[in-house]
Amino acid sequence: MNRRVVPGIVLLAIGAYFGFVVTLATFNGITGLGFGIPTGLQATIAALCAVGGALYFLSIDDVGDSTTPAAWLAGAGIVCFAIGSYIGLFVAPPEQFMGEVQRIMYVHVPSAWCALLAMTIAFASAVLFLLGNDWKWDARMEGSIEVGVVLAFLLCCQGAIWAKPTWGVWWDWDPRLTTTAVLLFAFLGILALRRFVDDPVKRGIWSAVATIIAYVDVPIVYFSVRWWNSLHQQQSNPGTVSRQFWLPLRANAFGILFLMVAFIMLRARISALRLKTELAPPPLAEAQLGEAV
Amino acid sequence: MIHALRKEMLLQWRTRAQFMAVLVFGASSLLLFSFAVGPNAEMLRQFSAGFMWLGLLLSSTLTLAESFHAEMENRAMEGLLLLPTSPRVIYYGKALANWFQLVLLGCALFPVMVVLYDAGTTDLLRLFLVICLGTAGLSAPGTMYAAMTAQVKSKQTLLPLLLFPLIVPALLASVKATSLIVLGDPMQQLGPWIRLLAAFDAIYWSLCGLLFGRVVEE
């Protein structure tokens, strides 16, 4: 196995250990496994290790060689997602006012985090591509935009499903909803642009420029819509949410995060391979040249 | 910079028939919007600012898409890039010319709105300021995207697809500010919206100028 994956695996293992310890402490009351570190700090360590590990895997991935790191990451994602969903659906208590409907939060909020993270990765890739002209970043940008668009679409669907029973409407012109919709359309437009441009150099530069422009727009859209109209519930933080609620939330967040990074890696690999065939000379050219001479 | 602007203005002056066509398009779309609401004068007055800006936005995609049309013929763009200036100058020349044209269009559509929706105002100075700031927000990213989509097969679809989600904040602020001017502003909310528009313009006029060099490089 490649030696470079070791730090990533170590990070993920530390994250998994502390996640496990926090779960035991929350639901079974078993403490003493956490080396005397307070539970809140343990959870933070787990979160940092998970995000760091996932991004580390993304950064060492050399798009095109092997799919093994992505497969491992996807496996970890499925495990986390299964654990989080199990706790969220069967162990965690129903919410006081919204009842069982609230359980959709365990996928809704992680999807939102990850959609935004995917767009941020796309933005970072676009900047790095423009600065360094490395095709790896073009492939990563395409992968993360596509995964981000899928997540943003899922986010809108989940939001509508949650909004109907709680607010009484499918859609509301709230800042976060509207921003997500605008984000979805802006990045869909960039994917369309990529489809229509045949020259790979122009395609890479233009979509990177468009990604930067669209990403800068996100906070402006958010604040303008907030001035315009607001109904969405206030953002919660671990201080206002009981640990029995945020534990499945975190587990699912890691699950979706790992799956997302794995999908980005696999999708970037496809882009890189496609690009390689595009940039390579057509196989017939040489034979035809020989005949002509 | 002055020369680039002068060239664009001359080009627009020589194709003024096209401007008239866009103006008629905008006015006819204003006429169509009223059919969506029905002959309810009070409601039409309420929505007048939104209709005007939507009309302006739809017409702006036509002028913006046209703005790089001339450069694509006979590879004129390459000739421009060979000039001993930075591509930034070309961008700002084009963006300023587009802005000027959109301001004209906005000023021309306003009387149409007054007549059709009975939504007039005497505060013309502030209205002009809002039209200037709002159209500046359309022109900066619009010129940028027009430079990209002009070289692409289905440019007519792609430009609105890229531009519309992006200018949501500018559209929102312009509509709100215009409707505050037309319908009255008891809460003094106009200031923040104008500041938002100005911030949007400042961000995109600088960001697009910064990135344009990469877009047109060969």
Tokens 């310890």 identify what position? A21
Is the CB of residue B197 less than 8 Å from the CB of residue B75? no
Coil/strand/helix, residue A99: strand
pLDDT at A285: 58
Q: Domain range holding B205? A: 2-216
DSSP A241: S
Residue in B with minimal Cα distance to A228: B172
**Does residue B200 sit at the A interface (CB-CB below 8 Å)?**
yes
Domain residue spans of chain A = 61-292
Domains identified in chain B, total number: 1
Distance from CA of A207 to the nearest CA of B (A): 10
pLDDT in tens, chain A (293 residues): 567 777 778 888 888 887 777 777 776 666 666 676 776 777 788 878 888 877 877 777 766 667 777 787 888 888 888 888 888 777 777 666 666 677 777 888 888 888 888 999 899 999 999 888 888 888 889 989 999 999 999 988 888 888 887 777 777 777 778 888 888 999 999 998 888 888 888 888 888 999 999 898 888 887 777 777 654 555 555 555 666 667 777 788 888 888 888 888 888 888 888 888 877 766 665 556 555 55
pLDDT at A239: 55
- Across-strand partners of A95? A99
Residues of B in contact with A206 (CB under 8 A): 148, 215
**Residue B211 to residues A206, A209, B7, B64, B216: CA-CA distances in angstroms?**
10, 7, 22, 18, 9
Question: ipTM for the complex?
Answer: 0.82
Is pLDDT at B90 greater than 80 in this prediction?
Answer: yes
What's the rounded mean pLDDT across residues B197-212? Answer: 89
pLDDT at A231: 47
The residues of A whose Cβ lies within 8 A of any Cβ of B are 130, 178, 182-183, 185-186, 188-190, 192-193, 196-197, 202, 205-206, 208-210, 212-214, 216-217, 220-221, 223-225, 227-228
